[in-house]
């Protein structure tokens, strides 16, 4: 699965890095996840190349930076990879990571 399609890149172009700094709620444009674990990444900003900013749920829950190349390199059991939630669209995410609405 391609994590960032042309359509998603176009949506994310409205949210360059640092563009939502200090604002809440933020628009969560894309959701990535590992189907074999509980890790989830909600993207709110993108540099257009490799670097994202968003909310990460893993060992902890926190706002931070992560990269497309890093997500693409993760491999799980039986060759599984990070996936994009194809049903996720236009949600809000508050400062505590609560995802809601449209």
Classify residue 59: in a domain, yes or no: yes
Domain that holds residue 51: 1-18+38-85
Q: pTM for the complete prediction? A: 0.94
Classify residue 57: in a domain, yes or no: yes
* Distances in whole angstroms, Cα of residue 97 to Cα of each of 2, 9, 75: 25, 22, 25
**Residue 29 and residue 43: Cα distance in Å, rounded?**
6
State how many domains the chain has: 1
Classify residue 48: in a domain, yes or no: yes
Encode pLDDT of 9-51 as tens digits. 999 999 999 999 999 999 999 999 999 999 999 999 999 999 9
Plot region of 101 (φ>0 → left; ψ -120 to 50 → alpha; else → beta): left
Encode pLDDT of 66-77 as tens digits. 999 999 999 999
Classify residue 30: in a domain, yes or no: no
Classify residue 23: in a domain, yes or no: no
């Amino acid at each position: 699965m391609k994590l960032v399609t042309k359509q998603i890149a176009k949506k994310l172009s409205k949210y360059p890095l640092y563009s939502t700094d200090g604002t809440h709620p933020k628009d969560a444009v894309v959701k990535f996840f590992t189907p074999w674990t509980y890790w989830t990444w909600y993207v709110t900003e993108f540099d257009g190349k490799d670097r994202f900013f968003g909310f990460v749920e893993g060992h902890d829950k926190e706002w931070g930076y992560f990269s497309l190349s890093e997500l693409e390199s993760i491999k799980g059991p039986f060759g599984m990879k990070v996936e994009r939630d194809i049903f996720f669209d236009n949600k809000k995410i508050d400062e505590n990571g609560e995802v809601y609405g449209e």
